[in-house]
Copies of this chain bind each other. A is one copy, B any other.
Amino acid sequence: MEIKVLKDILGANEQLAAKNRELLDSKKVFAVNVMASPGAGKTSVVLQTIKALKGKVRIGVIEGDIASSIDAETVAKEGVPVVQINTGGECHLEAIQIQNALNNLPLADIDLLLIENVGNLVCPAEFSLGEHLKILIASVPEGDDKPYKYPLMFNTVDALVLNKIDLLPYVKFNVDTFTKTVKNINTKVEIFKMSCTTGEGVQAWAKWLTAKMKLK
């Protein structure tokens, strides 16, 4: 019974995600679903990406949170169009929420749409939004054992940003072990090491992302 209901939800979600994708494609908008644990640095990576691509790529942002509009307010200061979705308790974004958000964004003026999902390493991995890329922000203080514990999330993403590498001297985290574990779960994933505090690694990430947009 429970599984049947879940299947219905996912079925409906997939259909709505396909519609979102059609709309995004027709407007030439490249959409990226940004997922992570709470506090791994999703908003910081979004901000760094906006700064790195300023004047080159027109960016729009959808912020997903259970409550509050803190992230949307932070992003709006960068002068890009942003919509905040409050899920009101749901632990992930779904395609219908993105459909509503797309209707409230100036898609004709956006090349790259960054969708910041709810902070959660589990359920967001199960729900397509119509995005072209799924990316995961992992962070050094979370520890290098996370791929074992959240295999679907690590398996499902096209790229992984390992954020907060400036904290490597202060915590136990083996980058080689982490990288090998991730590659065992997901052979095709691209891994970028980054610090949003120092700016290290931002350019390499922005370059790869821009190349992905052109390949589409």
Q: How far is A123 from B141 in the complex, measured between Cα atoms in Å? A: 23
Q: Shortest Cβ distance from A163 into chain B, in angstroms?
A: 10
Q: Are B146 and A39 in contact (CB under 8 A)?
A: yes
* Complex interface residues of chain A between 52 and 73 (CB less than 8 A to chain B): 65-68, 70
A110-138 vs B, CB cutoff 8 Å, 1 = contact: the mask equals 00000000111111000000000000000
Q: What residues of B have a CB within 8 angstroms of the CB of A171 in the complex?
A: 167, 197
Q: Does A201 contact B (CB under 8 A)?
A: no
Q: Are B152 and A89 in contact (CB under 8 A)?
A: yes
Q: What residues of B have a CB within 8 angstroms of the CB of A37 in the complex?
A: 37-39, 119, 142
Complex partner residue of A5 from B2, B70, B141, B170, CB under 8 angstroms: B2
CB-based closest 5 A-B pairs: A39-B142, A91-B122, A141-B141, A68-B148, A37-B38
Complex partner residue of A91 from B39, B91, B143, CB under 8 angstroms: B91
Q: What residues of B have a CB within 8 angstroms of the CB of A38 in the complex?
A: 37, 121, 142, 146, 149-150
* Complex interface residues of chain A between 1 and 45 (CB less than 8 A to chain B): 1-2, 5, 9, 37-40
Look across to chain B and name the residue whose beta carbon is closest to the beta carbon of A167.
B170
Count of residues in A whose CB is under 8 Å from the partner chain:
39
Q: How far is A38 from B90 in the complex, measured between Cα atoms in Å? A: 18
A161-173 vs B, CB cutoff 8 Å, 1 = contact: the mask equals 0001011001100
Known: A66-B122, A122-B118, A123-B91. A143 touches B39 (CB 8 A): yes
Q: Are A150 and B2 in contact (CB under 8 A)?
A: no
Q: What residues of B have a CB within 8 angstroms of the CB of A39 in the complex?
A: 37, 139, 141-143, 146
Complex partner residue of A119 from B89, B90, B149, CB under 8 angstroms: B149
Q: Are B121 and A119 in contact (CB under 8 A)?
A: yes
Q: Does A109 contact B (CB under 8 A)?
A: no
